[in-house]
Amino acid sequence: MYIIMLGGPGSGKGSVGGRVSEDFNLPHIATGDIFRAELKSETELGKKIKKYMDNGLLVPDEVVIETVESRLSQEDVKNGAILDGFPRTKDQAIALDKFLAEKGKKVDAAIELDVSDEDIVKRIVKRVICSNKSCGESYNTEFKPSKEEGICDKCGSTLIKRADDNEETVMQRLKVYHDTSKELLEYYKDTGVLYTVHPNIYSKTVLEDSVSEVETYLKNK
Ligand code: ADP
Ligand code: ZN
């Protein structure tokens, strides 16, 4: 199954996508994570994308598409994947459909997590993530604090703030999301694969509730 996670920055698509990936035994492919790793290792690709990421702007389509296609060509993806943060534009969606069609595959579901801008800002400015790349657990100092301040519950590594999780960049990322997501959502609505969840971010069980709603939908498809 090829499943796409849609939603604004901080909507929870990474956390929900990660859980669905474990439960359905499908690789979780997050373009933001791939790009952050490239930045950190200062690769050629990393140098190319830094200015976009630092400013909350979209990395150009051809760079993103090439990166994703190379990841999707790896052996572990042959039964499907959870795509998180890709596609972000209609052209990326069209490129993905074409790529999958050549392999006799298709997008099976596009899951949208619909959270208001106000809630997103509240969430992101208080978000901290695990510095250990293979863990990557996400916390919120107000809504979902770690047991010990600054330390990951799961692996004991230190918690850090993402460089682009400040109010100014979040506003920019939200603007970009609204500018590009409309036609993307329309695109998946037209192909009949769009399913929208409305997470209640003030609930302690928001992650579990969203995951279980998404998984129920996927199992009954
Ligand atoms: P968020 O959804 O919280 O903004 P991501 O981790 O998905 O964060 O992405 C971080 C940054 O990586 C984006 O602001 C953008 O610069 C770049 N990026 C990630 N995925 C894409 C994509 N599909 N197309 C263009 N740029 C992307
Ligand atoms: Zn951790």
Q: What residue ranges define each of the domains in the chain, with the CATH number in brackets? A: 2-115+175-219 (3.40.50.300)
Give the CA angle between residues 96, 100, 12 to the nearest 5°: 50
If 0-12 CB within 10 Å is exposed, 13-18 middle and 19+ buried, where does residue 96 land?
buried
Out of 52, 58, 138, mutate this one to test ligand 1's pocket (max ligand atoms within 8 Å of CB): namely 58
User: Which stretch of 18-22, 47-51, 110-114, 142-146 has the lowest confidence by average pLDDT?
Assistant: 142-146
Whether 32 is in the pocket of ligand 1, judged by its Cβ within 6 Å, is yes
Ligand in nearest proximity to the CA of 54: 1
Catalytic residue among 19, 36, 88, 144: 88
Out of 48, 49, 53, 72, mutate this one to test ligand 1's pocket (max ligand atoms within 8 Å of CB): namely 53
* pLDDT tens-digit series, residues 52-70: 999 889 999 999 999 999 9
